Homo-oligomer: A and B are copies of this chain.
Amino acid sequence: MTDTPKRHMKDQIYDIFLGRIQRGEIGPDVRLVDTAVAAEFNVSRMPVRDALMRLTHEGYLDSTTRGFTLPNLDTRQIREIFELRRLLEPRAAALATARLTENDLTRLRDAVARAEQTLETGEIETLFAASEDIRRTWIMAVPNKELRDTILRYMAQIQAVRMATLRDAEAHRTLVDLQRRLLQALEARDAAAVELLLLRYVLAGEDSFLRLHPPSADSDAS
């Protein structure tokens, strides 16, 4: 456990915690403290600090004076990020359409199947995982690295939105349906349809989020 066989510790630690955050393994009330993490990895505070501060600057963590925690996204931020998603993701998915390997498609079929099953079982955790899987698969196929990185940057926000919306039965059905149709469009390599469906997907998420968190009156001030 002490030695992961790669390059610099700070990068390893960065990767490890980025993964934990993106997989939702970090609990909203966990307080990451550099000394504690340093002990876990048998290194000094410095590489841990580097990693956690990097994650902080990238928006994955908040740096309080009492440790690092998940950022408490206020609804204003979440709504602003929806705007970004509307602008970027349809085009990104369209660009990815031609790049998906057969392997990717298999993974997508599997994930969509799992998502569909949750319509009956109601297992939200499984739905989370499947949605995450679908998302990661097409994003990783986006050929434009700058675009891909920009989208990945607000991955954490997506988690928060999922938490807030997927428990809603109606949203659940809508999103799974869109996932199925997205898969079909991707299989058909129909980039135009993919672009439209991604837009619908983002809009559906936004709608359902706004239904649950109606914008307060003052909230569109800068």
Listed in ascending order, the chain A residues whose CB lies under 8 Å from chain B are 50, 53-54, 57-58, 77, 80-81, 83-84, 87-88, 91, 99, 143-147, 150, 153-154, 220-222
> Is A147's CB under 8 angstroms from B83's CB?
yes
Shortest beta-carbon distance from A141 to chain B in Å? 9
Give Cα A222 to B99, complex, Å: 9
Docked Cα-Cα span, A91 to B81, in Å, equals 14
Q: Are A150's CB and B150's CB within 8 A?
A: yes
Protomer copies? 2
Interfacial chain B residues near A220, Cβ < 8 Å: 143
- Taking a contact as CB atoms under 8 Å apart, the answer to whether B222 and A80 are in contact is no
Residue of A58, A146, A221 ringed by the most chain B CB atoms within 10 A: A146
Task: A87 to B143: give the CA distance in the assembly, Å.
Answer: 16
Q: Are A83 and B146 in contact (CB under 8 A)?
A: yes
Instruction: Enumerate chain B residues within 8 angstroms of A143, measured Cβ to Cβ.
Output: 220-222
Known: A50-B53, A143-B222. 7 other contacts (CB 8 A): A53-B54, A57-B57, A57-B58, A83-B91, A84-B146, A88-B88, A145-B222
